[in-house]
Amino acid sequence: MQELVLALFALAMVATASKIPRTDQDEPLWWQNTIVYQIYPRSYQDSNDDGTGDLNGIQSRLQHIADLGVGSIWISPVYESPMADFGYDFSNFTNIDPIFGTIDDFKQMSDRAKELGIRLIMDIVPNHTSEKHAWFTKSVAREDPYTDYYIWKDPLGFDEDGNPIPPNNWLSVFRFSAWEWVEERQQFYYHAFTVQQPDLNYRNPLVVEEMKNVLRFWIEGQGVDGFRMDAVPFLFEDPEFLDEPQRPGATDPDAHDYLEHIYTFNLPEVYDMIGQFRSVLDEYEEVDGLPRVMMVEALSQDLSVQDLMKYYDVSDFPFNFNFVVQLEAPMEAAEVKKQVDDWLDNTPEGKTPNWVWDNHDNWRMGSKFGEELIDGMQMISLLLPGIAVTYNGGEIGMLNTDISYEDTVDPQGCNCGPEHYDDSNCSRDPERTPMQWSAEANAGFSGPQVEPWLPVNPNYVTLNVEAQKAADISESHLKVYQSLVALRQRDQVKLGGVVNVALGDVFAFNRQLNDEAPLIVAVNTSGDIVKVNLKELDPTESTYQVILRSTRSENLDTIPGSAIHDLADVTLGVYEGIVLEPIPSAT
């Protein structure tokens, strides 16, 4: 029998409650209260049975997204690419790779999304191109105006065997030297990522204008509502090209984190450049009055919260990776509160917070923290103030898939080798496997005779969209997710402030507007049954009822519709999350 743990309020409350009141009650801009649903196109839906997801596949599943109540989709790269890094190496910023379809397919998908009320956000990687891009080919040949479109540098000299010596000790994110020799040009080029991804030179104003024109192309002709700017801290390098110092305690000289990246990461010029990109969106907003969004990705443990918050000054918001990077398993309520406070307390006044549990580069949240906590984690990210980001499959609680080294295709995983490819910071294949739509062969992602680009998780037979659509809410992550999305439409959630507390193993918060009784959320992060005092979260002393709880709960006290007469004595089951609303007073 599981131990009954008393979460005593007086002893267990951690830190001071955080409050983020709204300064007005105007309707937020569409993106300030949206759910950003990330689609990894390769893995979403294969429409032509070639084993790879595509644009027509996405279009065929837009109704699913509309049924979720999601307001926007962020589509990972579908640009023309030789696929050295699965589409993050663009050979043409203004065309679609044939593996995903055509530009006409994109426009049809965009138009259909608008019909369904879904905004469209595109992934852009401004830092680099593919080595196959026409700009790079012409730069290698010193063909103007492309000669200095990239970071070129002479060798330090030549070793005794006649091999060129790299200009400095800079390392690639994917290990080994960040410099690659080009015999034709007799110079090295810099690549922060793979050898096939040469970095663009943003000290060249022609490159800046090229990228602005890329943004204009997608806004004007394709109806894009915003952009997610990838890997922005890498946009600039120190012009002196000095060696970077070794990181204290680092032992692997080939690993990126062997060095402290003081000359290649998040230089001051980056902020101005992002501001220039954001100004392109402003051009269109001034003409048509339609709000557009620019969100930036700056994932790194090397970035201070103060430096990260500066991106609010030049974009609409930087992604909040506190739950991804800072929060360790097993989850602890005090640590959840710490990460929530870290973001809320530092978010500039008038700016919008956002919450991310996972994505295509990081373990799925259920695999990292445990599938029992999936619903509780959704309650946290979907009901805290601001923007929630959902990685496709998160709505049904998809988990990582075990991938053998022989089946590994991620270049980052391959570079780690057979001994380390399945370390949590190596291969990204486990979180990128195909979307699980049904119990049919290949989970309904591809036809039955097709071998998908990555293996489908064997659990698809029971864990899939169709099964969860048919199940009762008590057994369906999908229906819990949809219920949470519906709650986001309440003024309390759209406009209300928040107070959050950690009470022993329970992370809890409220959403309150003016003097009304608040909505209350409580999540037990432990494998024990706990009693918790939630009165801190209700200044109105109202009577509450349970309106939503985690799937598979066996707690008789939290059956939806049950009254909670005393917030000082609330029982939560193992890993259980609940949402409470006040019962209207009889008149």
Using the predicted structure, report yes or no on whether residue 10 has a pLDDT greater than 50.
Answer: no
Helix axes 269-288, 205-222, angle to 10 degrees: 30
| Lowest model confidence (mean pLDDT) among 62-76, 389-403, 416-430, 508-522 | 416-430
Quick one: pLDDT at residue 299? 79
Q: What angle do CA 496, 502, 506 make, to 5 degrees?
A: 100
Q: Which of 46, 210, 244, 297 is catalytic?
A: 297
What does DSSP say about strands 563-564 and 570-572: parallel, antiparallel, or unpaired? unpaired
What would the pLDDT profile of 327-341 be if each residue is shown by its tens digit? Answer: 999 999 999 999 999
What would the pLDDT profile of 281-318 be if each residue is shown by its tens digit? Answer: 999 999 999 999 999 999 777 788 999 999 999 999 99
Using the predicted structure, report yes or no on whether residue 17 has a pLDDT greater than 90.
Answer: no
What does DSSP say about strands 529-532 and 4-7: parallel, antiparallel, or unpaired? parallel
What CATH number corresponds to the domain at position 408?
3.20.20.80
| Lowest model confidence (mean pLDDT) among 53-57, 64-68, 139-143, 412-416 | 412-416
pTM above 0.85, yes or no: yes
How much is the average pLDDT of 402-428?
Answer: 87
Task: Quote the DSSP letter at residue 99.
Answer: T
What would the pLDDT profile of 481-511 be if each residue is shown by its tens digit? Answer: 999 999 999 999 999 999 999 999 999 999 9
278 assigned to some structural domain:
yes
Q: Considering the chain, what is the average pLDDT of its residues?
A: 94
What is the DSSP track for 302-324? TS-HHHHHGGGGTSSEE---III
What would the pLDDT profile of 445-467 be if each residue is shown by its tens digit? Answer: 999 999 999 999 999 999 999 99
**How far apart (Å, rounded) are the C-alpha atoms in residues 193 and 338?**
32
Quick one: pLDDT at residue 541? 83
Quick one: pLDDT at residue 7? 39
Q: In the block, which residue shows the tokens 């119990």?
A: 439
How much is the average pLDDT of 73-101?
Answer: 96
The percent of residues above 90 in pLDDT, for the chain, comes to 89
443 assigned to some structural domain:
yes
Amino acid at 197: Q
What would the pLDDT profile of 533-561 be if each residue is shown by its tens digit? Answer: 999 999 888 899 999 999 999 999 999 99
Tokens, residue 64: 């699913």
- Cβ atoms of 67 and 176 within 8 Å: the answer is no
How much is the average pLDDT of 164-177?
Answer: 96
153 assigned to some structural domain:
no
9 assigned to some structural domain:
no
Quick one: pLDDT at residue 567? 96
- Cβ atoms of 344 and 377 within 8 Å: the answer is no
- Cβ atoms of 238 and 263 within 8 Å: the answer is yes
Quick one: pLDDT at residue 140? 99
Catalytic status, residue 335: no
570 strand-pairing partners:
532
What would the pLDDT profile of 105-160 be if each residue is shown by its tens digit? Answer: 999 999 999 999 999 999 999 999 999 999 999 999 999 999 999 999 999 999 99
Domain count, the chain: 1
How much is the average pLDDT of 10-16?
Answer: 37
**Full residue range of the structural domain in which residue 454 is found:** 29-127+207-242+268-481
580 assigned to some structural domain:
no
508 assigned to some structural domain:
no
**How far apart (Å, rounded) are the C-alpha atoms in residues 296 and 352?**
13
Quick one: pLDDT at residue 20? 52
More confidently predicted of 233 and 411: 233
Catalytic status, residue 569: no
Q: Which of 46, 230, 341, 375 is catalytic?
A: 230
Q: In the block, which residue shows the tokens 């979260």?
A: 537
Using the predicted structure, report yes or no on whether residue 24 has a pLDDT greater than 60.
Answer: no
Give the model's confidence band at 413: pLDDT under 50 very low, under 70 low, under 90 confident, else very high: confident
What is the DSSP track for 264-291? TSS-THHHHHHHHHHHHHHHHHHHH---
536 assigned to some structural domain:
no
Quick one: pLDDT at residue 303? 87
**How far apart (Å, rounded) are the C-alpha atoms in residues 171 and 259?**
8
What would the pLDDT profile of 59-79 be if each residue is shown by its tens digit? Answer: 999 999 999 999 999 999 999
What is the DSSP track for 407-450? T---HHHHHH-TTTTTSTTS--GGGSSPP---SSGGGGSS-TT-
Quick one: pLDDT at residue 411? 82
Task: Give the Å distances, CA to CA, from 198 to 152, 190, 441.
Answer: 10, 6, 40
259 assigned to some structural domain:
no
